[in-house]
Amino acid sequence: MNTPAQPNRLIHASSLYLRQHAGNPVDWYEWGPEALTRAIQENKPILLSIGYSACHWCHVMERECFENAELAALMNRYFINIKIDREERPDIDQVYMEAVQAMGINGGWPLHVFLTPQQEPFFGGTYFPPQRWKQVLQGIAEAWTTRRKDISQSAQELTRHLQQNVWPGSSQTDPSGHYIAATAYQRLTSAIDPRHGGLSKAPKFVLPAVWRWLLGYGYLTGNEEAFASVILTLNHIAAGGIYDHVGGGFARYSVDEKWFVPHFEKMLYDNAQLIELYSEAWMVTRNERFREVVYETAAWLEREMTHPEGGYYAALDADSEGEEGKYYTWTFNELAEALGTHAGNWADFLHVLPEGNWEEGRNILFRKPGQPTPANWPATRQKLLNCRNRRVAPACDKKIIAGWNAMTISGLCAAYRAFADPWFLKKAVACLQFLQNHLLKGGHLLHAYFEKPLPIEGFLDDYACTIRACLDLHQCTLDEHYLGQALQLARKVLANFGDETPYLFYTSAGAEKLIARKKEIFDNVIPSSNSLMASNLLVLGYLLDREDLTHRAHQMLNNLHTLTREEPVYMANWGLAQLRMQATRCDVVVHGGDALRAELQQHFHPFVLYARASESGTIPMAHGKSASQTPAVFICPNNTCLPPFNNTAQSLQQLERLARSFREN
């Protein structure tokens, strides 16, 4: 049996999450031929355990079960035990998460699935306390001995279910974009918490695509209530404990309906999307608190999450010193020690109580929603940050994931457009350069980097997010080099991820063959890879005048009218792409006048595309505009360009008139 003095084979893993289990007495394997072959040779079931480094309940189960010598002995005797980092192998996680959900069990992490030696699932669950885990291990071991035939039959049936990718066929009708969007809006608003924002249930995840859809819908329809729902939600999130008021950045979700108590892990993908969302919301509202959130969150990324070459790390743990949230919470005395004689006023501002507002006398900092920020708060915040920096910090998972980094590029680009601050663009360009230097190999994208590129081919979301990042950088700079990169990657995707349907597989044709090859449709905290690609193809098709690309995007979008209308929460990014498809097409060609373009982009026009006037470039709408005097802005609704404008006020007036409407059906 392994002991902490004799690490198991996970000590050599690239994954921080796997290395965290290297001292367990469990005979852990990584996923790979060694473990899978041994399962077949010894005819033992596989125990698949999936989690990630920042997962609080993963750590709890490790302490309670995997460090327990008695339970480890049962695992080693009866099973081939495989540990998986879901962030390194989302393809495996995707298959077996669906399997557990098909068993009628709510998904989540840690995820535990029992498989036949042929990798077919037959039982699973999430977190198990020690006594229950012992019962499960003993029960599965006995069933494997006495009811092997039943298990095999059940596993084969479930595997056949997993191997089905059922996709909607072509719509029988072409419903009005107004009708689809209006119905989705009605369903969505009925689910919004009117007091605290967000969706009316706990735990509460932010789901950025939902609020970006509402911003787009409000823009096209002039529906001020759509904007109001977003503003309500973002004010409460920025005030709640889910936001780190001292250090910046957001935790993954709130366990309550008031955004007060977070699970304290910070994930790159949440913060990337929230930088984008708050930047867009600032364009609509000019709300100073939204600007503060963007700058504070970007500063946190720079301070704690940035690789020296410009990439961004994956996550910060929820726990430090074995306790969840210890790093982020304060006793009244700790606040008083940090701030001295002024502590009382700041305790009121941050709702810090002598007896604590959370557990064991500790306080989660929060503010009153919509409350203006005092002028001396930045200096006070720095004092608190200096004090907190002396604590034992949560572990940082320093793997760099292609798709999450690309999402960060898009977030930084949105901040650049909103605030015209070149710092954001500089960081976005540096991040893309990191991806190009380390994860783009021979035109193929790799999934992740930890001290070196990991030999895992990029998944569809890696490609889709990177294509979008290139498109966003093109819009910020009007440099067609980025557009060319986006097109090159899109060609790879269409060649390697597709089949006869409009939709794309999550894994490439050359990836490791699992028991099922899945297609991802539903949006969640991260938008689905297919919805991202549909939007990418639409934008590429518009800019390059490529009917083949727009046709593919229309196929993907039109087949999903019913789902988008009926399930707006989990189809929000599809809905956003459909809004672009239904919006009045309005493009802007800029001849000279980068300052004028930057001024225009500080206003919220989410479906307007920009290009630089050029006679030799790849964007057809940019041709024939170079002879005019500079600076000049050509506004082109529905592929017909108006005479040029040379000032911001005139250009904005025309954009407001032309771009904020649904196209006539």
* Containing structural domain, residue 617: 586-659
Distance CA 544, CA 474 (A): 13
Cβ neighbour number for residue 574 with a 10 Å cutoff? 30
In three-state secondary structure terms, 233 is helix
Domain termination site, one of 562, 582, 602? 582
Band (pLDDT 50/70/90 cuts) for residue 442 is: confident
Domain termination site, one of 393, 425, 457? 393
pTM: 0.96
Question: Do the domain assignments include residue 172?
Answer: no
Q: Inform me whether the pLDDT recorded for 592 exceeds 90.
A: no
Question: Do the domain assignments include residue 665?
Answer: no
Within this chain, do residues 215 and 127 fall inside the same structural domain, yes or no? no
Band (pLDDT 50/70/90 cuts) for residue 14 is: very high
Distance CA 182, CA 186 (A): 6
Q: Inform me whether the pLDDT recorded for 37 exceeds 90.
A: yes
Span 118-142, average pLDDT: 97
Compute the C-alpha angle 491/617/470, nearest 5°: 45
* CA neighbor of 151 nearest in space, from 124, 173, 181, 121: 121
pLDDT at position 602, please?
96
Within this chain, do residues 308 and 327 fall inside the same structural domain, yes or no? no
Distance CA 583, CA 339 (A): 52
Number of domains forming the structure of the chain: 4
- Packed helices 208-221 and 572-582: angle between N→C axes, nearest 10 degrees: 20
Q: How far are the Cα atoms of 298, 386, 560, 571, 608 from residue 522, in angstroms, in the given order? A: 28, 42, 11, 6, 26
Within this chain, do residues 348 and 224 fall inside the same structural domain, yes or no? no
CATH of the domain at 204: 1.50.10.10
- Say if CB 322 and CB 406 are below 8 A apart: no
* CB-based contacts of 335, cutoff 8 Å, min separation 6: 343, 346, 347, 350, 352, 363, 384
Question: Do the domain assignments include residue 122?
Answer: yes
pLDDT at position 13, please?
95
Distance CA 400, CA 307 (A): 9
Within this chain, do residues 247 and 148 fall inside the same structural domain, yes or no? no
Span 271-279, average pLDDT: 98
Band (pLDDT 50/70/90 cuts) for residue 3 is: very low
Question: Do the domain assignments include residue 132?
Answer: yes
Distance CA 627, CA 436 (A): 36
Span 159-182, average pLDDT: 75
pLDDT at position 2, please?
40
Q: How far are the Cα atoms of 188, 232, 444 from residue 229, in angstroms, in the given order? A: 10, 5, 41
pLDDT at position 351, please?
97
**Per-residue pLDDT reduced to its tens digit, 71-121:** 999 999 999 999 999 999 999 999 999 999 999 998 899 999 999 999 999
Ramachandran region of residue 387, left (φ > 0), alpha (ψ -120 to 50) or beta?
alpha
Within this chain, do residues 273 and 420 fall inside the same structural domain, yes or no? yes
Distance CA 570, CA 556 (A): 16
Question: Do the domain assignments include residue 337?
Answer: yes
Span 274-287, average pLDDT: 98
Instruction: Retrieve residue 624's tokens.
Output: 């024939």
* CB-based contacts of 173, cutoff 8 Å, min separation 6: none
Question: Do the domain assignments include residue 2?
Answer: no
pLDDT at position 630, please?
77
Within this chain, do residues 191 and 259 fall inside the same structural domain, yes or no? yes
Alpha helices (runs of H) in 458-511, residue ranges in sequence order: 460-477, 480-496
Q: H-helix or E-strand containing 82?
A: strand 80-85
pLDDT at position 167, please?
63
pLDDT at position 7, please?
93
Domain termination site, one of 349, 373, 393? 393
Within this chain, do residues 242 and 96 fall inside the same structural domain, yes or no? no
pLDDT at position 625, please?
85
- Say if CB 380 and CB 346 are below 8 A apart: yes
Distance CA 216, CA 581 (A): 12
pLDDT at position 494, please?
98
Instruction: Retrieve residue 246's tokens.
Output: 């001292």
Within this chain, do residues 565 and 654 fall inside the same structural domain, yes or no? no
Question: Do the domain assignments include residue 417?
Answer: yes
Band (pLDDT 50/70/90 cuts) for residue 200 is: confident
* CA neighbor of 258 nearest in space, from 273, 242, 269, 245: 242
Within this chain, do residues 418 and 345 fall inside the same structural domain, yes or no? no
Mapped to the 3 state alphabet, what secondary structure does 56-79 carry? Answer: HHHHHHHHHHHCCHHHHHHHHHHC
Span 192-198, average pLDDT: 97
| Burial class for 558, CB neighbours closer than 10 Å (0-12, 13-18, 19+) | middle
Band (pLDDT 50/70/90 cuts) for residue 1 is: very low
Q: Inform me whether the pLDDT recorded for 210 exceeds 50.
A: yes
